[in-house]
Amino acid sequence: MAETDVDLDAEQYEKHREAGEILAQVREEAAERVEVGASHLEVAEFAEDRIRELGGKPAFPVNISIDEEAAHATPSVGDETTFGEEMINLDIGVHVDGWLADTAVTVDLSGNTELAEAPAEALDAALDLIEPGVETGEIGAEIESVIEGYGYNPVVNLTGHGLGHWEQHTEPTIPNRSVSQGTTLEVGDVVAIEPFATDGSGKVSEGSDEEIFALEREGSVRNRQARQALEQIAEEFRTLPFATRWLDVSRASMALRRLKSADIVHGYPVLKEDDGALVSQKEHTIIVTEDGCEVTTER
């Protein structure tokens, strides 16, 4: 199960569904605002504010990944970056009382239509396979086959994942390529399936930019701003990722550096394709049912 120590009851599944409904609406509304000249920060803040208006909370900062970026890029405080003729991936998450939904879509302004289509087609093919008893390696093989059929490579060191309570990434892992040993899906599993396609080698590495963090452990620090930041993190975000721009303290970046040096928080560096090649993405959250799956992030 997505929650390893207790079965999810009906109310908790409804919260997963509610998070998915909010997310499907916000994904569409945010994607419509992505155009040449539009502000990264305004799109991210629109989506995060809209999630709250609709009764959820952001499960992590809106990821806006450009061209060779695959994940973990989000605007900084006062960011003035605007969209160009680029490949843009929007990755958005919602939680309702800690029960999550996760989705992503590529908005292609670069003219690489087929690269944008490849992960979407791969995701549809993967969803057709989902049922109790299917192995995650079979899902990965189908994703790989579809993306390679377009003439591209899957990003092999990024995967789909389970969604737990206040946990964005849990077992099982859903690979984007064929693997010999996988996990068997069961009724009730809540998982995010997210194919990535690239016209590069198919691997990503960490860059130097880092605007997203998460609580690693409890701890104490002497610095006042760091203490205030830690109080907000523990109360509002718990173990879920947050953005530097979400913190209400002065000198937030300095406070985070102190918390990171004390191993109280960890960062998520932006992930980039090793060859500097374009990356596209599509993601849905599903609940495994007795006869297939329910897609919670589809309208």
> pLDDT tens for residues 117-146?
999 999 999 999 999 999 999 999 999 999
Q: For position 259, which CATH number holds?
A: 1.10.10.10
189 is catalytic: no
Q: Please tell me the distance from the alpha carbon of residue 213 to that of residue 233, in angstroms, as a whole number.
A: 10
Check the annotation: does 28 bind a ligand: no
16 is catalytic: no
- Given 79, 131, 169, 171, which residue is catalytic? 169
Confidence of residue 5 (pLDDT cuts 50, 70, 90): very low
Q: State the residue range of the domain holding 146.
A: 10-208+276-295
CB atoms < 10 A from the CB of 49, how many? Answer: 12
Check the annotation: does 42 bind a ligand: no
Q: Please tell me the distance from the alpha carbon of residue 145 to that of residue 158, in angstroms, as a whole number.
A: 16
Residues 200 and 217 in one domain: no
> pLDDT tens for residues 78-125?
999 999 999 999 999 999 999 999 999 999 999 999 999 999 999 999
185, 191, 179: which is closest to 154 by C-alpha?
A: 179
- Given 18, 48, 68, 91, which residue is catalytic? 91
Residues 63 and 169 in one domain: yes
- Given 161, 189, 210, 211, which residue is catalytic? 161
- pTM, two decimals, is 0.94
169 is catalytic: yes
Instruction: Give the number of domains in the chain.
Output: 2
In DSSP notation, 209-269 reads: ---EEEE-S----S-HHHHHHHHHIIIIITTS-EEGGG--STTHHHHHHHHHHTTSEEEEP
Residues 28 and 80 in one domain: yes
